[in-house]
């Protein structure tokens, strides 16, 4: 598509979201649904202005989706302000590890026994489709670091963690297909892809997030230096952390999420006060911002708020671009009763089953358990893993099957979850408020 057409479409969508954003929040319609519909209309099934063949465009779409996921994971880390010792962390950890592994296994079983995929392709499909999406799930995530709601915190933490946890399963699937080195008896996969990947990713992210945050706060409060350019700080920390983790063969997605968490911890350590909207009395403009940014009690909170705000804007732009392309790619799928049955099975049976087993015995209400089971939104993370697989050896009919199942699942998830999120979350908020008043 010509760049001028791209500019027209994206510009119109951005302005539409500004003008109609408040209205959409009250309706059972999500921004992603609008982007998906416009993308489909621009694709070969509509006006034919966009023709992003997944096979031919995978080399370009992989890094674009990768950047979108990285931005979102860092943003999620910045939102999770509860102390790591808080019992509420048990829920997202169980969802991201236990429920995630169960979902991969269940999808692999369906792929192997019902669809007839080879074992490697079935496991790969599980790795692609099991992670929930941190980009499209913003309506069910925490809004502020101090949000203690169990439902929102669990879904936010799960989305931040399981995009990285999915990578070992993707590697396992590719290895079983013969295009990734698993080592003798799988030792390399277990030692490098799983154990070191998880530990190294979390450790590298925590180290760089903490060091960067403390350095910036120190320079601002003691020397009145390194003030401003929070945009550079956000992008720089994401890029640096991800690059180091990837070169060290650790899981880069987990590293970026951990960097966001660590930066948030620095903000809390500096002082638990929120950054004020206005500077000290008598100061205006740049002088007021400088006074707040270098204040020993406020520097950390000011930095965190500025970085988080910039990152959230990037996240929304990335969502628009990726979902627009996903909508255009839907015309390359083969939708039949088998595909529809698989998607319904995943969303209505496999996801809820894995959540109920994973949260067995956890102290969550019935409403929270049901909503966590339902809001396993699939999206940009799955698109990235699909493109990664296509670029790393997934070919032929297996590639066609993966493209169809992944794109259809993501498209259906965007629609059904987008329709249901407003009424369900409104009902949940009312019931929660009602219980708190008793």
**DSSP calls for 351-374:** HHHHHHHHTTT----HHHHHHHHH
Band of the pLDDT at 134, cuts 50, 70, 90?
Answer: confident
272-302 b/e with 16+ CB inside 10 Å = b?
eeebeeebeeeeeeeebbbebbbbeebbbbb
408 has a pLDDT exceeding 50: yes
Residues 46, 327 contacting (CB under 8 angstroms):
no
Q: Who's near 435: CB < 8 A, 6+ residues apart?
A: none
Distance CA 397, CA 403 (A): 10
155 has a pLDDT exceeding 50: yes
434 has a pLDDT exceeding 80: no
What pLDDT score was predicted for residue 302? 66
pLDDT digits (tens, 9 = 90+) for 356-397: 999 998 888 888 999 999 998 888 999 999 999 999 999 999
Torsion angle of C-alpha atoms 74, 78, 82, 88, degrees rounded to 10 = -30
What pLDDT score was predicted for residue 209? 94
Residue of 377, 314, 387, 320 lying closest to 74 (CA atoms)? 314
pLDDT higher at 433 or 115: 115
DSSP 87-119: GGGHHHHHIIIIIHHHHHHHHHHIIIIII---H
What pLDDT score was predicted for residue 137? 66
> Which of 290-299, 329-338, 351-360, 412-421 shows the lowest per-residue confidence on average (mean pLDDT)?
290-299
Q: Who's near 313: CB < 8 A, 6+ residues apart?
A: none
Residue of 174, 292, 165 lying closest to 228 (CA atoms)? 292
Distance CA 244, CA 415 (A): 37
Distance CA 138, CA 152 (A): 10
> What letter does residue 185 receive in the DSSP assignment?
G
Radius of gyration of the chain (CA): 22
What pLDDT score was predicted for residue 283? 44
Residues 264, 84 contacting (CB under 8 angstroms):
no
Q: Locate 189 and state its tokens.
A: 């996969």
What pLDDT score was predicted for residue 382? 95
Q: Locate 185 and state its tokens.
A: 């008896």
Band of the pLDDT at 227, cuts 50, 70, 90?
Answer: low
Q: Locate 37 and state its tokens.
A: 């519909």
81: helix, strand or coil: coil
Band of the pLDDT at 347, cuts 50, 70, 90?
Answer: very high
What pLDDT score was predicted for residue 276? 47
DSSP 137-184: TGGGS-SSTT---HHHHHHHHHHHHHHHHHHHHHHHHHHHTTSS---G
What pLDDT score was predicted for residue 51? 84
pLDDT digits (tens, 9 = 90+) for 76-128: 998 888 888 888 999 999 999 999 999 999 999 999 999 999 999 999 999 99
Of these ranges, 35-44, 173-182, 217-226, 356-365, the one predicted with the greatest mean pLDDT is: 173-182
Distance CA 55, CA 42 (A): 19
When the pLDDT of each residue in the chain is averaged and rounded to a whole number, the result is 86
Distance CA 5, CA 266 (A): 44
Residue of 165, 156, 136 lying closest to 82 (CA atoms)? 156
pLDDT digits (tens, 9 = 90+) for 57-87: 999 999 999 999 999 999 899 888 888 888 8
Percent of the chain with pLDDT over 70: 86
Residue of 55, 54, 180, 65 lying closest to 124 (CA atoms)? 180
Strands (E), 183-274: none
DSSP 284-328: -HHHHHHHHHT-TTTHHHHHHHHHHHHHHHHHHHHHHHHHHHHHH
Distance CA 66, CA 352 (A): 27
pLDDT digits (tens, 9 = 90+) for 259-314: 999 988 876 665 444 444 444 544 445 565 566 556 565 555 666 677 777 778 88
| CB count in 10 Å sphere of residue 109 | 14
Distance CA 213, CA 305 (A): 13
């Amino acid at each position: 598509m010509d760049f001028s057409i791209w500019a027209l479409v994206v510009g119109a969508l951005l302005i539409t979201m500004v003008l109609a954003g408040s209205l959409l929040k009250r309706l059972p319609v999500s921004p992603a649904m609008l982007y998906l519909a416009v993308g489909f209309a621009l694709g070969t099934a509509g006006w034919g202005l966009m023709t992003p063949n997944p096979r031919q465009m995978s080399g370009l779409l992989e890094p674009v989706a990768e950047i979108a996921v990285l931005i979102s994971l860092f943003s999620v880390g910045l939102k999770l302000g509860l102390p790591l010792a808080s019992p509420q962390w048990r829920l997202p950890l169980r969802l991201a590890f236990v429920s995630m592994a169960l979902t991969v296994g269940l999808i692999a079983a369906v792929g192997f026994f019902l669809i007839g995929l080879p074992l490697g392709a079935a496991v790969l499909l599980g790795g692609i489709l099991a992670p929930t999406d941190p980009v499209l799930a913003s309506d069910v995530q925490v809004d502020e670091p101090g949000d203690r709601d169990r439902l929102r915190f669990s879904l936010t933490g799960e989305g931040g963690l399981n995009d990285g946890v999915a990578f070992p399963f993707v590697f396992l699937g590719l290895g079983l297909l013969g295009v990734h080195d698993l080592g003798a008896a799988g030792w390399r996969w277990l030692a490098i892809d799983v154990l070191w990947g998880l530990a190294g990713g979390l450790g590298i992210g925590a180290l760089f997030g903490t060091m960067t945050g403390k350095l910036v706060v120190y320079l601002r409060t003691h020397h009145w230096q390194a003030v401003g350019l929070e945009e550079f700080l956000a992008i720089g920390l994401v890029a640096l952390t991800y690059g180091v983790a990837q070169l060290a063969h650790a899981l880069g997605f987990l590293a970026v999420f951990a960097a966001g968490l660590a930066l948030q911890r620095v903000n809390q350590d500096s002082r638990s006060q929120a950054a004020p909207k206005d500077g000290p009395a008598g100061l205006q403009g740049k002088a007021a911002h400088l006074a707040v940014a270098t204040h020993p009690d406020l520097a950390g909170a000011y930095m965190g708020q500025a970085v988080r705000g910039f990152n959230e804007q990037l996240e929304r732009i990335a969502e628009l671009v990726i979902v627009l392309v996903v909508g255009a790619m839907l015309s390359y799928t083969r939708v039949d009763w088998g595909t529809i049955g698989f998607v319904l099975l995943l969303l209505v049976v496999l996801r809820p089953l894995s959540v109920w087993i994973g949260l067995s015995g956890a102290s969550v209400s019935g409403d929270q358990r049901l909503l966590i089971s339902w809001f396993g939104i699939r999206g940009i993370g799955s698109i990235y893993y699909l493109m990664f697989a296509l670029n790393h050896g997934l070919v032929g009919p297996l590639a066609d099957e993966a493209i169809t199942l992944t794109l259809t699942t993501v498209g259906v998830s965007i629609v059904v979850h987008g329709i249901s999120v407003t009424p369900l979350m409104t009902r949940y908020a009312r019931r929660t408020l009602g219980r708190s008043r008793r």
